[in-house]
Amino acid sequence: MGKSTFETKVLEALPIAPFLAFGLIVAWSQIPGSGSVQLPRMCESAAGASLESSIEALANGIALIVAGLVARKLGRPVLEPRLVFAAGVVAAAGCAVLLAIGPLGLPAALSFALAALAHCVCGAATAIIFLKAGELYGSLSGRAAVTRLAWSHVMAGLIFFLVVGMGVWMVPGTGDTLVGAAAYVGLPLAAAACANMAPLEGGDAPYVESDRGVPTVFWKLIAVIFVLCSVMIAVSTATSSLYPHDVVVEGSHVSNFVRIALAFLLIWSTLSLGAEDFALGRAYVAIMLFSIALVTMSPVMVEVSSAWGYLSNVVMLLFRMLHWVILSLIVCQKHLSPVLVFGLGCGTQTLGRAIGGFTGYALADGFGDPSFRFAVCIVLTLAIVSCAFLVFSEKSLDELFAPSSASEITLVDLFGTVTHPVVDLEAEAPVAKRRFAESIDKLSEQHGLSKREKEVFRYLAMGYNPNMIAEKLHISWNTVRGHSRNVYAKLGVHTRQDLMELVEDAKGAAG
- My answer on whether 347 and 449 are in the same domain is no
Nearest by Cα to 137 from 352, 399, 314, 346: 346
For residue 19, pLDDT over 80 is answered with yes
482 within some domain: yes
Selected residue with higher pLDDT from 410 and 389: 389
pLDDT given for residue 95 in this prediction? 94
pLDDT given for residue 3 in this prediction? 56
- My answer on whether 322 and 437 are in the same domain is no
437 within some domain: yes
405 within some domain: no
Tell me which of 344, 371, 400 is where a domain ends.
Answer: 400
CATH number, residue 426 = 3.40.50.2300
Query: What CA–CA distance (Å, rounded) separates 290 from 385?
Result: 11
Give me the mean pLDDT over the 137-144 stretch.
85
Selected residue with higher pLDDT from 346 and 105: 346
**Percent with pLDDT over 70 in the chain:** 87
328 within some domain: yes
- Domain, as residue range, for 486: 418-510
- My answer on whether 373 and 240 are in the same domain is yes
> 429 pLDDT band (50/70/90 cuts)?
low
DSSP 64-77: HHHHHHTHHHHTTG
Give me the mean pLDDT over the 440-450 stretch.
89
Query: What CA–CA distance (Å, rounded) separates 174 from 38?
Result: 8
The answer to whether residues 152 and 140 touch, using CB atoms and an 8 Å cutoff, is: no
- My answer on whether 360 and 436 are in the same domain is no
- My answer on whether 34 and 89 are in the same domain is yes
Give me the mean pLDDT over the 36-42 stretch.
78
Tell me which of 400, 432, 448 is where a domain ends.
Answer: 400
For residue 410, pLDDT over 50 is answered with yes
> 49 pLDDT band (50/70/90 cuts)?
low
Give me the mean pLDDT over the 144-164 stretch.
93
pTM of this prediction? 0.80
407 within some domain: no
- My answer on whether 295 and 327 are in the same domain is yes
pLDDT given for residue 142 in this prediction? 83
- My answer on whether 293 and 162 are in the same domain is yes
The answer to whether residues 495 and 462 touch, using CB atoms and an 8 Å cutoff, is: no
pLDDT given for residue 418 in this prediction? 41
409 within some domain: no
- My answer on whether 224 and 284 are in the same domain is yes
- My answer on whether 64 and 163 are in the same domain is yes
The answer to whether residues 342 and 327 touch, using CB atoms and an 8 Å cutoff, is: yes
> 511 pLDDT band (50/70/90 cuts)?
low
Tell me which of 352, 372, 400 is where a domain ends.
Answer: 400
Instruction: Give the chain's domain count.
Output: 2
- My answer on whether 249 and 335 are in the same domain is yes
> 26 pLDDT band (50/70/90 cuts)?
very high
- My answer on whether 450 and 388 are in the same domain is no
pLDDT in tens, 333-382: 887 888 899 999 999 999 999 999 999 888 888 887 888 989 999 999 99
- My answer on whether 14 and 63 are in the same domain is yes
